[in-house]
Structure 1
Amino acid sequence: MNSFVIHAGSMFDGFSMSGPVAVHVSGGRILRVDRTGVLPSHGGEVIDLGPSACLLPGLVDTHVHLAFDAGPDPVTSLASASDSDLLAHMRAAARSALLAGVTTVRDLGDRDYLSLALVEEMAHHPELGPEILPAGPPLTTPGGHCHFLGGEVEGDAEALRAAVRERHARGCAVIKVMAGGGHMTVGSVPAHASQYGLEDLRVVVDEAHRLGLPVAAHAHGVQAIRDAVEAGVDSLEHVSFLTEDGIAPDPGLIGAIVNRGTFVSLTLGLDPAQAVRPPKAMTAHAMAAHVNAVLDAYSTLQQHGADVVIGSDAGIGPWKPHNVLPHGVGDLVRLGVAPLDALIAMTSRAARLCGVEGRKGRITAGADADILVVDGDPVHDPAAVLDVRAVFRAGVRVR
């Protein structure tokens, strides 16, 4: 059994900061946490990372696409790849996320359930990548957003129930439904338009919840957001408040999101070395204005007390590599979120959304030994999250 002690100058445990700490690890789990920082007097391996090191729970990304290659045209790349080549890419993408300290991801859209093959592989070799919580192919209308992933389902109650049951039977951890359109699918409805109506979404949510699965709804448009909230989805992905005329956050809808306790998975985290490429119909100037308006909407959501987490949407372009999530801490802070709350959003709160609360997103006795070690104090300097000293996955040091 692999047993050791990690010693560091400080720790963020998923909720608060504390001083010198000794974390005892055994068999892939955290055995106990000594907040005095006193090392055991008996023998055994001690990994002493020094007084400037800070321990954090491994980060949780609530929205990734391991099947997208973060290239200039990820849809074409995916369409031309064989299953074996695509799986090889997905392994590399997962490894990239892990080395950045992302130890849990929700994969909210793969092709033909390939992420489930990775789940099986990593059950035996967790050090190869983060724990993956897969959705399989997202439910979408025929010809709808991301239909090329293989999840087309007519807006028919029995067909929707059957699609949810299939994902449950295959071992998916979450149901992803494209409540509205998106930007990446040629010929589909615009991002501001709805794909499924309220009754369709209610069918999906009721069947998923009956089977014990949460529902994540892709929703840019105001009506899609409203219907998803009313239907009782567990998380809203993107939440852009798009209308045909632009972005228009609705105060009443924001209130409903907060009152219902619906998680909002904000699309944050950008590689600062890469420019965001606007859709073909949008100029760079219009894209910048659009991004600023979305960020204003995100700021309004968090100011009103929404349960905010970060879903990076890793893979959808060069500005979204699979190791991008840690950049989201700074993004949240720039929106007015206190650094401590930003860290909570990417650890314990994200774990609660993903249904792995207690086991992930915390440094506490009984939790998985998924630990990120950075240099510095991320509460006073959020950029410290990017200065990775070490990463442990299920008690194995991978970096």
Structure 2
Amino acid sequence: MNSYAIHAGSMFDGFSLSGPATVYVSGDRIVRVDRTGALPSDGSEVIDLGPSACLLPGLIDTHVHLAFDAGPDPVTSLGSTSDSELLAQMRAAARSALLAGVTTVRDLGDRRYLSLTLVEEMAGRPELGPEILAAGPPLTTPGGHCHFFGGEVEGAEALRGTVREHHARGCSVIKIMASGGHMTPDSVAPHASQYGLDDLRVVVDEAHRLGLPVAAHAHGVQAIRDAVEAGVDSLEHVSFLSADGIAPDLDLIDTIVRKGTFVSLTLGQDPGAVQQMPEAVAAFVNALLDVYSSLHKHGANVVIGSDAGIGPMKPHNVLPHGVADLAALGVAPLDALISMTSSAARLCRVEGRKGRITPGADADILVVTGNPADDPAAILDVQAVFRAGVRVR
């Protein structure tokens, strides 16, 4: 069994930043954390990364699409790609995320459950990619948003049956398209609801009965309202979009905060691609950022779901840029780090095993140069990545 100690000048454990630390790893788990800064005296192998290094839990991206290629037209690309080619693409996407320090991803939409094929391939081979918490094909109405993934379903009994099938196949989360979206031609408008409150309740009740959380894609105000009332675990995008544009509904935000519903904010953008955004897209993004600022200021449970894969701004290694995005909204970098580690682990129901550095947790560890609690850019200066105890970078 592989055993060693990692020593660095500081450590963020998923909740707070402290000084020099030594983390002891045995196999795929953390077995001891020494915060005195002392090096082991028992002859253990030591990976000393120096006084400027900071240890962090591996990052958790709560919303990715490994099946999208982050190109200019990922939907057309998906449609022209065979399953074998798509799996190869998804393997590369997963590896790209891992090398950036993202050691867990929640894949919220694939074709024919291909993400579960990756889960099987990567079992016992942590060097291949992050742990994948797969949703399989997202539930959507006939011809609805992302229908090309194959998850079209309507009617209470069919919805229950689809949730049961996802559970039986081994999915970790149920994804439902409560509203329309921007990537599906000839479907309903992004602000329009696809499922009503009764259907959402059917899905939530069945998923929770089976022990699965529910993630609701929700741009429109009514879709957000219904998803919260139905008891979903996370709201994806949360754009507060109407036919007139984007504007936060403060009463609805208060309801989200009161009910403790997680909001998975679509943050993290490649800076180079952002500079080439069309003016209309930039205006939409800026309005969305104002909504996200309101959610944070009102105390919502914020996590970051990058939506990696949906376009050139969203390569699969983009999540770390979300720290700077949140900081630009006035969020302290330390709170941003919490949102993509311990808080994300709580949403994904892997709390204690992921998102923190503590005895018994998975040895998923990111090492960067500098102090990411002071400087958001430090999260991009990766020295090392460990996945389930295996050093992959």
**Does the pair score TM above 0.5?**
yes
1:132 Cα offset (Å): 0.2
Name the counterpart of 1:45: 45
Q: What do residues 232-266 of structure 1 show as CA deviations (whole Å, max 9, x unaligned)?
A: 00000000000001012111100110000000000
Query: Is the partner of 2:386 in helix, strand or coil?
Result: strand
1:239 aligns with 2:231: no
TM-score with structure 2 setting the length: 0.99
Name the counterpart of 1:309: 303
Give the Cα separation in 1 of the matches to 2:314 and 2:177. 20
Which letter does structure 2 place at the counterpart of 1:150?
G
Give the Cα separation in 1 of the matches to 2:333 and 2:307. 22
Contact 1:13/1:56 (CA < 8 Å) preserved in 2?
yes
1:275 Cα offset (Å): 3.4
1:287 Cα offset (Å): 2.3
User: Compared with structure 1, are the counterparts of its residues 239 and 105 closer, same or farther at alpha carbon in structure 2 (3 Å cutoff)?
Assistant: same
Report 1:1-399 matches (<5 A).
Answer: 1-154=1-154, 156-275=155-274, 284-399=278-393
Which letter does structure 2 place at the counterpart of 1:227?
D
Number of aligned residues: 393
Which letter does structure 2 place at the counterpart of 1:7?
H
Structure 1 unmatched runs, 5+: 279-283
Give the Cα separation in 1 of the matches to 2:334 and 2:245. 32
Give the Cα separation in 2 of the matches to 1:40 and 1:101. 26
1:127 Cα offset (Å): 1.6
Give the Cα separation in 1 of the matches to 2:280 and 2:122. 42
Which letter does structure 2 place at the counterpart of 1:200?
D
Which letter does structure 2 place at the counterpart of 1:115?
S
Give the Cα separation in 1 of the matches to 2:39 and 2:276. 51
Name the counterpart of 1:281: none
Give the Cα separation in 2 of the matches to 1:144 and 1:81. 21
Give the Cα separation in 1 of the matches to 2:282 and 2:72. 19
1:40 Cα offset (Å): 1.4
Give the Cα separation in 2 of the matches to 1:394 and 1:193. 42
Contact 1:111/1:136 (CA < 8 Å) preserved in 2?
yes
1:382 Cα offset (Å): 1.0
1:286 Cα offset (Å): 2.8
Q: What do residues 252-292 of structure 1 show as CA deviations (whole Å, max 9, x unaligned)?
A: 100110000000000000000113777xxxxx333222211
User: Compared with structure 1, are the counterparts of its residues 277 and 202 closer, same or farther at alpha carbon in structure 2 (3 Å cutoff)?
Assistant: farther
Query: Is the partner of 1:60 in helix, strand or coil?
Result: strand
Query: Is the partner of 1:176 in helix, strand or coil?
Result: strand
Give the Cα separation in 1 of the matches to 2:134 and 2:374. 34
Structure 2 unmatched runs, 5+: none
1:123 Cα offset (Å): 1.3
Which letter does structure 2 place at the counterpart of 1:261?
G
Q: Quick one: percent identity of the two aligned structures?
A: 81
1:329 Cα offset (Å): 0.3
Which letter does structure 1 place at the counterpart of 2:292?
Y
Q: What do residues 34-65 of structure 1 show as CA deviations (whole Å, max 9, x unaligned)?
A: 00111111212100000000000000000000
